[in-house]
Structure 1
Amino acid sequence: DDFFCGSVTTLAVAEKLGRRWIGCYLSKFAIQVTRKRLLDIHNSKDLLEESGKKKYGKPARPFELWNIGNYETVYWQEREDEYLAFMLKLYQAQPLTGFRYLHGRKGDRAVHIGPLNAPVTMEEVEKVVIECRANNFTKADILGWEWSYEVNELAKELAGRNGVDLRLIQIPSVNEIKSALVGFDLRLLKVPDQVVEKELSQYVKFSEVAYLEIKTEVKGNEVTLKISDFQLPPTAELAEIASKVRDSRELIDYWAIDWDYKGDTFHNQWQSFKVKKNPRVDYEARHRYEDSGEYQIMVKVVDVFGNDTNKVLRVRVK
């Protein structure tokens, strides 16, 4: 086990020796470095070859990536009601009562605030959608600190089937909120309403999660996917590098495809990612199916900041 896995050396060595391993880290970027190094392990040196010139040559065994939430918000756990009220004010929404999952309303949109120390899950999204439908809300915003890896497109698809126009809204980082609250104790949520409404809302911006567009081409039993557009919501991090980005797709650090997604575990059957020797990804992928029929494809994209965006597609091959 390596609970500060950093440059991934412990995990990589354990993998080459055929040992089981667990790695943890706080940084999304570091986790992405870990994933890429393990996926590229076949190109690294063989530990058992003395000259150091021979490559390991074997792919990494299947591994799972888990998001267990943001530790920075733990101190709000005992003040959940105050936290919800604060977030609704920050989002400029009015509180609602008498509902279990609908915490507020902004215009004609219901608002749900995601959990403090865990990612928003599909189960949570489904409960919000059901409550919206039962109470004649046709539009809803779900605010989250973190998102389970399957939520992005699956959530909108689920909501659409139930007649709900759903937006997934990223809650700004704790540091962004803190920087706009100089002079106030964020832990105690002792911030005057007028400060939240008139000043804080100018500096703390909520935005939708990333937009991913994929073109699909089917010829017989062969399917071609091409990333045609990828847009990140405006953030301070993005502003720092925006002038260097000529094509928004350059913000993709890694993407992978499960060509036969069953709705549960994502199986990494194809991937392209940036490495030092080749700092570009392929925007196009092809796959040939052995059997005709209808297939569900899941695409997972990770941007240069370590954030995941997913999209599910359906194709029929002959």
Structure 2
Amino acid sequence: MSKQTDVKITAAKGRPMLAWVGKRPLRYVTAFPAQHVETYDPTGEFGKKKVDAAWLEWPDGYPKGGLLLNGDNKEVLAHLLANGFRGKVNLIYIDPPFDSGADYVRKVQLRGVTANFKIDGENYTLGEQIQYTDIWANDNYLQFMYERLLLLKELLSEDGSIVLHCDSTKGHLLRCLLDEVFGSANIKNEITWRYVKYQMGKINRFVDNTDRLLWYTKGSNYTYKLQMTPLEKPKELLAKGWDKEKGVIVNLKDEKGKTYKILINEEKVDDFWDLPFEGPVWVNNEEGKLAKVDLQNMPIDNTWLLPYIAAPSYERTGFPTQKPEVLLARVINALSKPGDLILDCFIGSGTTAAVAQKLGRRWIGCDINKGAIQTTAKRLQSIISEQILEVINPQPLGFDLDGKDKQSELPQLAFTTWKVNNYDLVIQHNEAINLACEHIGIQRTRTDGFFDGTLGKKLAKIIPFGHPLSPVDLEEIKKELEARPEEERSVVVVCIGKELATDAWVEEWNRLRKGEDAANRIEVIELRTDPKYGKIILTQPATAQVSIMRDGEKIRVEIHDFISPTIVERLDIDMPLFKARITDWRSMVDCIMVDTDYNGEVFNVTISDVPQRKNNLVNGTYELPAPAGVTTVAVKIMDMLGEEVLVTRQV
């Protein structure tokens, strides 16, 4: 999808302008191509010509449906700019890292008939899988957010809005960044979301149960639909500031038009709410000033008391920092129209795309984390499947659909998944670092912006597992050590694979640092070949026994067995006293998808088996219509840790 190119970015001109160490303007950004990897189109929608007005300016390079992109969101946003989406996004909602100083993990457990699957009589979950690390050095966080806000502004339409979700940690600084990028005149609200979460452990300050939503627009012409909430009685009436002892005079009309003038004081206010009158009434104070009061509803203000996700709840995905659908429903309903395009470049568990799909909006979601993409894709597949059945058995959403409840009014019932810059981490980087640290014995460091931890008395640096160790990586370590003239500790470099030139580089470096007490010697642990630490990487990939056959006009698929050595290895590591035995292979499987006409490049989902409840199992046996002639059937099996197995057969 397009060649690599440079995209020009408009400079920020707003005031005030926040300064930090290492602040750099973003004048150009490189746009990389995208690779189409998966399609979910259960109704054949992409084969139909769409003439809706919402799709008229949709770029030709993408199918007219939801877009899910895996990659660094800076590169994804640049790609969207280079491929026709500049100024096309109506609403941006982002829930970026908060600079909280924490690792965010997703709790992973085997599937089973009970909440905790039993292995040899023991209750067991697979523990926690790191999704992303919210730890930043110095002012790197501000530069990270600044660059992405500049890109998002380019994508936003002239009548569009952006809502940035944050907390008190960096909310004040993010508001300054938004002032600089979008202009201080374009802030519409700083919304406080208050929720109730039980505080455990030692409490040494007021419990912080609020987040902030910073709402900015690109200009003065923007979408806003007034949101109303039921009036609580009688608090709002007494909070207007009228004299509680002398009371207020209320003019009421009954159903026949007769007018009643009633004096209401504090003692009578409860009786007032019991009067059989509906709709707005006029309230007079003693000076004769009138105020219109709606006995049913009042406009929602900038303090939102909305529940966190209830536990237990089928809405929960197990993804860290997941936000409730009712929160996104309020944002999307208020700041967009049906058919508008919604973008979330920190998609996480997929709540923004899920609510946008339910509310009849188009959507684009992206995330650097492959697990986030997998979680979102499964969630959307379930939602679209339910929407297809909705015309047969209508069910309430639980929040406002802007009066549109017919499936014909939904903009799409299909989506595609893409990789940008060939971004495909077989092992999620943060999860791999965590496993490597546990396996090798590295103690993680939270305050060092360059080194990942210590191994004994040595500094430890983990090279991103997406590429082998190269002399460029070693030069970066050299520069960092030169910037720390008082640092004398040796360095352990952990990597998967290494270029041949690195051995000569390390040998020459250490030759100049001989002796037991020599400073800054470098040792390399290559996880594929290291005799002591290599076991973590030598684990075999997951395998499956699958039969695929044609039976007349049907194709039958049956999974006979599945084994994930990674899961078994984790069970062995965490429970070393016994050899874990898993009696039902389906407990290790998160979902199964089948493509009955696989072309070897893009996986088109013919059927997806995504159990709705965490303790339900996949079916494992499927019967599908057979395409005419010889075809290649592909079966994709995803385990509970996100590892995928693809089995293909020509029938």
Q: TM-score higher than 0.5 here?
A: yes
The CA deviation at 1:191 is 2.0
The equivalent of 1:311 in structure 2 is: 647
2:554–2:626: 8 Å Cα contact kept in structure 1?
Answer: yes
1:13 to 351, 355, 358: 355
User: What is the Cα deviation at residue 229 of structure 1?
Assistant: 1.3
Q: Measure how far apart 1:55 and its partner are.
A: 9.8
Paired letter, 2:345: F
Alpha carbons 2:357, 2:363 under 8 Å: kept: yes
What aligned pairs does 1:216-295 form with structure 2 within 5 A after superposition? 216-235=548-567, 237-239=570-572, 243=580, 245-276=582-613, 279-289=616-626, 291=628, 293-295=629-631
Alpha-carbon distance, 1:214 to partner: 0.7
Partner Cα separation in structure 1 for residue 587 and residue 526 of structure 2: 41
CA shift digits 1:182-204 (9 cap, x unpaired): 32422442325799845333x53
What is aligned with 2:43? none
**Quick one: higher RCO (CA 8 Å, sep 6+), 1 or 2?**
2
In 2, the alpha carbon distance for the partners of 1:287 and 1:12 equals 27
Cα pair distance change 1:304/1:257, threshold 3 Å: same
Would you say how many aligned residue pairs link Structure 1 and Structure 2? 216
CA 1:68–1:23: 2 relative to 1, 3 Å: same
Paired residue secondary structure (2:365): coil
The one-letter amino acid of 2:433's match is V
* TM superposition score normalised by structure 2: 0.29
Counterpart in 2 of 1:93?
none
Deviation by residue 1:58-97 (Cα, 9 ceiling, x = unmatched): 796222233558xxxxxxxxxxxxxxxxxxxxxxxxxxxx
Checking the alignment, whether the CA contact within 8 Å between 1:259 and 1:295 is kept in structure 2 is yes
> Residue 523 of structure 2: SS of its match in structure 1?
coil
Deviation of residue 5 (structure 1)? Answer: 2.3
Deviation, structure 1 residue 245: 3.7
Residues 237 and 26 from structure 1, CA distance in 2 versus in 1: closer, same or farther, beyond 3 angstroms?
Answer: farther
Provide closer, same or farther for how the CA distance between residues 186 and 28 of structure 1 changes in structure 2, counting only shifts above 3 A: same
Work out the percentage of aligned pairs sharing the same amino acid: 27
Offset at residue 146 of structure 1 (A)? 1.9
**Structure with greater helix share of residues:** 1
Query: In terms of Rg, which structure is larger?
Result: 2
Question: Residues 191 and 206 (structure 1 numbering): CA distance in 2 closer, same or farther, change over 3 Å?
Answer: same
- Which of 434, 441, 465 in structure 2 is aligned with 1:175? 434
> TM-score by structure 1 length?
0.56
Q: Is the 8 A contact 1:28 1:307 kept in 2?
A: no
Shift of 1:303: 1.2
Q: 1:194 and 1:250 mapped to 2: Cα distance? A: 33
Q: Is the 8 A contact 1:39 1:59 kept in 2?
A: no
Report the Cα offset of residue 49 of structure 1.
5.7
Is 1:301 aligned to residue 581 of structure 2? no
User: Does the 8 Å CA contact 1:178/1:186 hold for their aligned counterparts?
Assistant: no
Cross-structure match for 2:64: none
Q: State the alpha-carbon separation in 2 of the partners of residues 312 and 208 from structure 1.
A: 19
CA distance change for structure 1 residues 7 and 194 in 2, over 3 Å: closer, same or farther?
Answer: closer
**1:114 is matched with which residue?**
none
CA RMSD of aligned residues (A): 3.8
2:414 to 56, 62, 76: 62
Which of the numbers 16, 31, 35 marks the counterpart of 2:377? Answer: 35
Mapped to 1, the partners of 2:436 and 2:614 lie a distance apart of 38
Measured after TM superposition, the shift of residue 228 of structure 1 is 0.9
1:29-71 CA-partner distances (Å, limit 9, x unpaired): 44333122211114374455699xx8979796222233558xx
- Tell me the secondary structure at the aligned position of residue 565 of structure 2: coil
Flag structure 1 segments of 5+ consecutive residues without an equivalent.
Answer: 70-116, 120-144, 148-171
CA distance in 1, matches of 2:460, 2:606: 48
Contact 1:25–1:31, Cα closer than 8 Å, also in 2: yes
Q: Distance in 1 between matches of 2:615 and 2:524?
A: 51
Residue equivalent to 1:185: 460
Given that 1:185 and 1:191 are in contact with CA atoms closer than 8 Å, whether structure 2 keeps it comes out as no
* Deviations 1:253-297 (CA, angstroms, capped at 9, x unpaired): 111111111233211111111212871211011123363x21111
Secondary structure class of the residue paired with 2:377: helix
Instruction: Tell me the alpha carbon deviations over residues 138-189 of structure 1, each in whole angstroms, 9 at most, x when there is no partner.
Output: xxxxxxx528xxxxxxxxxxxxxxxxxxxxxxxx922232331532422442
Offset at residue 17 of structure 1 (A): 3.6
- Cα distance change of structure 1 residues 228 and 191 upon mapping to structure 2, 3 Å threshold: same
On the 8 A contact 2:359/2:402 being kept in 1, the answer is: no
Residues 198, 275 of structure 1: alpha-carbon distance in 2 compared, 3 angstrom cutoff? same
Q: Which amino acid aligns with 1:186?
A: K
Matched with 1:146 is: 426
- Determine which of 203, 208, 213 is the counterpart of 2:545: 213
Q: Describe the shift of the 1:245–1:29 C-alpha distance in structure 2 as closer, same or farther (beyond 3 A).
A: farther
CA distance in 2: counterparts of 1:11 and 1:267, whole angstroms = 20
1:185-233 CA distance string (max 9 Å, x none): 22442325799845333x5342232112211233222221101111112
